[in-house]
Amino acid sequence: MTSGDGSLTEELDLFYEEVRRHNSSPLWLQERQTVKTVPFLWRYDDFRPLLMRATELVPVGRQAERRVLVFANPGLEGKQSATSTLLANLQIIMPGEVAPSHRHTASALRLIVEGSGAYTAVQGEKSYMDPGDFVTTPNWTWHDHGHEGQGPMVWLDGLDVPMVMTFEAQFQEQYSEDKQPITKANDASMRLFGAGTLRPTWIHHDSVHSPLINYKFAHVYDVLTTLAKETDGSPFDAITLEYTNPLTGGPALATIGCFAQLLKPGQHTKAHRHTGGTIYHVIEGKGYSVIAGKRFDWGRKDTFVVPSWAWHEHVAEVESVLFVYNDWPVLQPLGLFREEPYTERDGHQEVTETFVAGPA
Ligand code: 1HN
């Protein structure tokens, strides 16, 4: 029945062509969905010179509202994002510059990398930022940045832009002036809500996000190191603290889970995997992570990605503090969060490859 098979193939081709003309596609021919995000690392030493060159070539203003270099995961061709749902960028601002006020439905966080004297203003409140500070810009809040100090100021931006774009819920508005009016005392939210266990009863905060703008690193580091005297934390995640909304105990940002992780000198966590592509930024320290069998050496200010469902474990050569963020607040209530420990080889992966950082 050779000729019969031939005509069947021809008939199938004709059928597929007709289905395509109907703007449709047969499910049985579609590629099975797999994780496209790859483990990757961007070294700060490679990016600092690029950021400095950008300060000479590109002024911040209404043309380039933010001087930002976006980390593009090579597994996510054309998407220009660190994971499928989150952005990780480095932003640089120089003394005297103002990144003009706007608001958008994407939520943002800043993790300060270098410098001082710059502020972020959010909804009428200014907060000056120092290295290691975690600063929130919840969705649809007016925000602008300005630098009143000396020397370059750099931070890591984390945003849920790809998630918001997937939902096609992107809105953006410019403020009528570069700077929004300041209507509150600097860091007013820190005094009102920073105590965490004591809630100001006369304030009604009508938002799914934390009312706190700046979670100062000095406090976070103090809590981490105090706990480190008593515990190693989780075998998989060491001492990890979540940045929470003090009014609910939930995540600081409704769409982005944010954490600070302390690894003691010599600490080697056990491997596990979970859904939720995760971005790690090294606030301080030195060590390496094994991600899907590949070794990623990291140092201060480097940023790396652990894709969803990738085995990962961390090794600190000296005391290390990592800032960690992912999309768990969206996955969890939808029943999409899963987690699994690595049970072979006493919980440690075999290292089969070493990642070489730097330009292609
Ligand atoms: C944004 O508004 C900022 O406000 C930084 O600093 C990075 C990346 C994509 C979209 C909006 C900022 C951004 C951004």
Question: Distance from the CA of 158 to the center of ligand 1, in angstroms?
Answer: 9
Instruction: Report how far residue 8's alpha carbon sits from residue 16's, in angstroms, rounded to the nearest whole number.
Output: 12
Ligand 1 atom nearest to CA at 137: 4
Instruction: Report how far residue 261's alpha carbon sits from residue 110's, in angstroms, rounded to the nearest whole number.
Output: 16
Structure tokens at 141: 């809040």
Question: Distance from the CA of 68 to the center of ligand 1, in angstroms?
Answer: 8
Q: Is 91 in the pocket of ligand 1 (CB under 6 A)?
A: yes
Q: Is 175 in the pocket of ligand 1 (CB under 6 A)?
A: no
The pTM (predicted TM-score) of the whole model is 0.96
Residue from 60, 66, 156 to probe ligand 1 pocket by mutation (most atoms less than 8 Å from CB)? 66
Percent of the chain at pLDDT > 70 equals 98
DSSP code, position 105: S
State residue 150's pLDDT score. Answer: 97
Ligand 1 atom nearest to CA at 104: 2
Percent of the chain at pLDDT > 90 equals 94
Rounded average pLDDT over 124-131: 98
Residue type, 156: L
Q: Is 135 in the pocket of ligand 1 (CB under 6 A)?
A: no
pLDDT in tens, 25-54: 999 999 888 899 999 999 999 999 999 999
Q: Is 66 in the pocket of ligand 1 (CB under 6 A)?
A: yes
Q: Is 89 in the pocket of ligand 1 (CB under 6 A)?
A: yes
Q: Is 319 in the pocket of ligand 1 (CB under 6 A)?
A: no
Instruction: Report how far residue 239's alpha carbon sits from residue 241's, in angstroms, rounded to the nearest whole number.
Output: 7
Q: Which residues pair with 127 in a beta bridge?
A: 120
pLDDT in tens, 250-280: 999 999 999 999 999 999 999 999 999 999 9
Rounded average pLDDT over 157-163: 98
Q: Is 161 in the pocket of ligand 1 (CB under 6 A)?
A: yes
User: Largest Cα–Cα distance in the chain?
Assistant: 85
Supply the residue whose CA is at minimum distance from atom 6 of ligand 1: 66
pLDDT-derived band of residue 61, with 50, 70 and 90 as boundaries? Answer: confident
Q: Is 93 in the pocket of ligand 1 (CB under 6 A)?
A: no
State residue 177's pLDDT score. Answer: 95
pLDDT in tens, 99-117: 999 999 999 999 999 999 9
Residue type, 74: P
Q: Is 143 in the pocket of ligand 1 (CB under 6 A)?
A: yes
Q: Is 159 in the pocket of ligand 1 (CB under 6 A)?
A: yes
Supply the residue whose CA is at minimum distance from atom 7 of ligand 1: 157
Q: Identify which of 91, 109, 188, 185 has the alpha carbon closest to the alpha carbon of residue 147.
A: 91
pLDDT-derived band of residue 6, with 50, 70 and 90 as boundaries? Answer: low
Supply the residue whose CA is at minimum distance from atom 3 of ligand 1: 66
State residue 2's pLDDT score. Answer: 45
pLDDT in tens, 275-300: 999 999 999 999 999 999 999 999 99
Instruction: Report how far residue 292's alpha carbon sits from residue 280's, in angstroms, rounded to the nearest whole number.
Output: 15
CATH architecture of 40-354: Sandwich (2.60)
Q: Is 68 in the pocket of ligand 1 (CB under 6 A)?
A: yes
pLDDT in tens, 313-339: 999 999 999 999 999 999 999 999 999
State residue 187's pLDDT score. Answer: 98
Instruction: Report how far residue 290's alpha carbon sits from residue 351's, in angstroms, rounded to the nearest whole number.
Output: 7
State residue 4's pLDDT score. Answer: 55
The residue ranges of every structural domain in the chain are 40-354
Residue from 157, 163, 175 to probe ligand 1 pocket by mutation (most atoms less than 8 Å from CB)? 157
Question: Distance from the CA of 353 to the center of ligand 1, in angstroms?
Answer: 35
Quick check: helix, strand or coil at residue 13? helix
Instruction: Report how far residue 160's alpha carbon sits from residue 255's, in angstroms, rounded to the nearest whole number.
Output: 7
Question: Distance from the CA of 26 to the center of ligand 1, in angstroms?
Answer: 39
Residue 356 reports pLDDT greater than 90: yes
Q: Is 157 in the pocket of ligand 1 (CB under 6 A)?
A: yes
**Burial of 170 from C-beta contacts in 10 A (0-12 / 13-18 / 19+):** exposed
